[in-house]
Amino acid sequence: MFTSVWIEFANDVDDEKQLLKMLRGELRTGLNRVKGSLKRAVYVIRMTGDFVIAYEKRNSPVLYIGRGNCSQRLAAHLKNWLHEVRGFGSKVGLEIRVASPRRQKREDYFKNVEADLLLDFAKEHGALPFFNKRYEHSFQKKCVHRPEDKKKMRSAILIGSGNKPLWALKPTKANKAFATFLSGEHFE
């Protein structure tokens, strides 16, 4: 279901424009390997390296779960906020897991997958992913996912076996991401 796209931050690049250009190139190269339509895709943005996010119930490398025209949405995320993840610490990279889920006679199935991923994430971790601000209530729990798809969806939101991050981070009030971290609807 998911294909991984890897993005590494060059520590020797200080100019933001140059960094964005490099990251867009890595993103474009990675997305060319994804099978299926990128216009109706679901993606999970995850950190790689020694750091994860300290969510309320459980740690996770997941920063954001999204859907739509993957190329356009990810390019906008890079420009607006994703490039700032580099400031989370040294050796932080990104893995973007992309899927083009399809079901016959269900044109909006990719929306159902994203909504159910958000809900599953919140149940497991006690909150929405760091940069998500809301659930997609109108699309959640509208279909039953096959067991093999459910397993792949679950693996996209957990740390993963064999990964042993050294640090779990959460922003403090001095961090400009603090308000975003607390702005999503929290799972109760």
- Looking at per-residue pLDDT, the higher value among 151 and 9 belongs to 151
- Looking at per-residue pLDDT, the higher value among 185 and 63 belongs to 63
Taking phi first (over 0 means left), then psi (-120 to 50 degrees means alpha), and beta for anything else, what does residue 168 get?
A: beta
Q: Please give the pLDDT value at position 188.
A: 45
- Looking at per-residue pLDDT, the higher value among 86 and 75 belongs to 75
Q: Please give the pLDDT value at position 161.
A: 79
From the CB of residue 64, how many other CB atoms can be counted at a distance below 10 Å?
A: 19
- Looking at per-residue pLDDT, the higher value among 93 and 119 belongs to 119
Decide: 25 and 5 in contact? Cβ < 8 Å: no
Q: Please tell me the distance from the alpha carbon of residue 35 to that of residue 25, in angstroms, as a whole number.
A: 18
| Least confident span in 64-73, 74-83, 103-112, 139-148 | 74-83
Q: Please tell me the distance from the alpha carbon of residue 145 to that of residue 149, in angstroms, as a whole number.
A: 6
Over residues 50-71, the pLDDT tens digits come to: 889 999 889 999 999 999 998 8
- Looking at per-residue pLDDT, the higher value among 36 and 134 belongs to 134
